[in-house]
Structure formats: structure tokens, C-alpha cells
């Protein structure tokens, strides 16, 4: 028996079968579903092959995460690449799957908070205030020192 049917049987025994019918066997298994190795069956069946598979997945994920870390100060989508490396790790390691679930939950919560009208008004007010301050400082600099270009332009 698989874990999905075990949970469905457990739900049916507890009397919450309507919920199980709505969710279906894929969603009824809850948090335990999807955790663990996603390696093909013939790889999982041989211990040495599975360990070498895990080492390969770890090395590839490490290379991708390393490239993402390098892209943080340099041009490139650093955070996207880092999360891509975490997704590679999550194909094989439970700890990476849990980190990705936590990250997705936090990103979703932050997106919901950002859509709050009060937060949007506050962010807009802070942005306008910052732009006014930067504009005033730039205007003061031009008034005090003039607009001198760092290169020479000859009139011909």
C-alpha cells in the first residue's frame, strides 16, 4: 500500500471522508508527500549507485548555488540561480525540500503583505520622500559646483 491510500483509509476511519474526496489521494497525504529522493527506481535499488547519484546531484547543485553567489555582486540573476540550485538539491535531499517549502511560504506571505493597501501607501510615501531627498541633494551639488562633465567636448 502506498502512503496516499493509507492516509485515505485513516481519514475514512476518522469520519472525514468528504475532505478526502475533495482533495484526492495526491493532496490527502499532506506534508509527507514529495519528501525524499526522486531518483529513478533502478538507481534507488542499488546502494552504491544511489550514493553516487546523490553525490552527483550535490555537486551539480553546489556549482549552481556557487554561480548564484558569484552573481549576487556581479550582473546576473543571483537569487534566481541560488534557488535553482536549491531546487536541484531538493530533487534528492529532504533538508533542501524543507528549505524550499519554507522559502515558498515566506515569499507568499511577503507577497500578500505587499498587496496590503496600507503597506503600499507607506512604500509609495517612502519612495517619493527618498526621490525628493536625492533630487534636492543633486540640485544642491549642481548649484554649488556646477554641471561639469568629466570629459572635454570641443566645439568645431
Is the pLDDT higher at 57 or at 38? 57
The pTM for the full model equals 0.51
Q: What is the pLDDT of residue 34?
A: 66
Tell me the DSSP string of the chain: --HHHHHHHHHHHHT-HHHHHHHHHHHHTGGGTT-S----HHHHTSHHHHHHHHHHHHHHHHHHHHHHHHHTTSSS-HHHHHHHHHHHHHTT-HHHHHHHHHHHHHHHHHHHHHTSHHHHHHHHHHHHHHHHHHHHHHHHHHHHH----SS-----
pLDDT tens digits along 5-56: 343 343 333 344 333 334 444 444 444 556 777 777 777 777 888 888 889 9
pLDDT tens digits along 118-154: 888 998 999 999 999 999 999 999 888 887 777 776 7
Does 66 have pLDDT greater than 90?
yes
Q: What is the pLDDT of residue 3?
A: 43
Does 77 have pLDDT greater than 60?
yes
Tell me the C-alpha distance between 96 and 35, whole Å. Answer: 10
Does 112 have pLDDT greater than 80?
yes
Pull the grid cell for residue 14. Answer: 476518522
Q: Taking residues 85-100, what's their average pLDDT?
A: 89
Q: What is the pLDDT of residue 126?
A: 95
Q: What is the pLDDT of residue 128?
A: 97
Does 62 have pLDDT greater than 80?
yes
Amino acid at each position: 500500500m502506498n502512503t496516499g491510500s493509507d492516509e485515505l483509509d485513516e481519514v475514512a476511519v476518522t469520519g472525514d471522508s468528504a475532505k478526502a474526496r475533495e482533495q484526492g489521494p495526491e493532496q490527502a497525504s499532506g506534508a509527507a508527500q514529495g519528501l525524499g529522493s526522486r531518483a529513478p527506481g533502478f538507481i534507488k535499488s542499488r546502494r552504491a549507485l544511489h550514493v553516487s547519484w546523490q553525490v552527483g546531484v550535490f555537486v551539480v547543485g553546489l556549482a549552481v548555488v556557487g554561480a548564484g553567489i558569484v552573481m549576487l555582486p556581479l550582473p546576473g540573476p543571483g537569487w534566481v540561480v541560488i534557488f535553482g540550485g536549491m531546487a536541484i538539491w531538493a530533487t534528492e535531499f529532504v533538508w533542501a525540500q524543507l528549505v524550499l517549502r519554507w522559502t515558498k511560504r515566506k515569499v507568499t506571505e511577503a507577497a500578500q503583505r505587499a498587496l496590503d493597501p496600507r503597506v503600499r501607501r507607506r512604500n509609495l510615501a517612502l519612495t517619493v520622500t527618498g526621490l525628493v531627498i536625492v533630487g534636492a541633494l543633486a540640485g544642491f551639488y549642481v548649484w554649488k559646483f556646477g554641471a561639469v562633465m568629466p570629459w572635454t567636448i570641443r566645439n568645431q
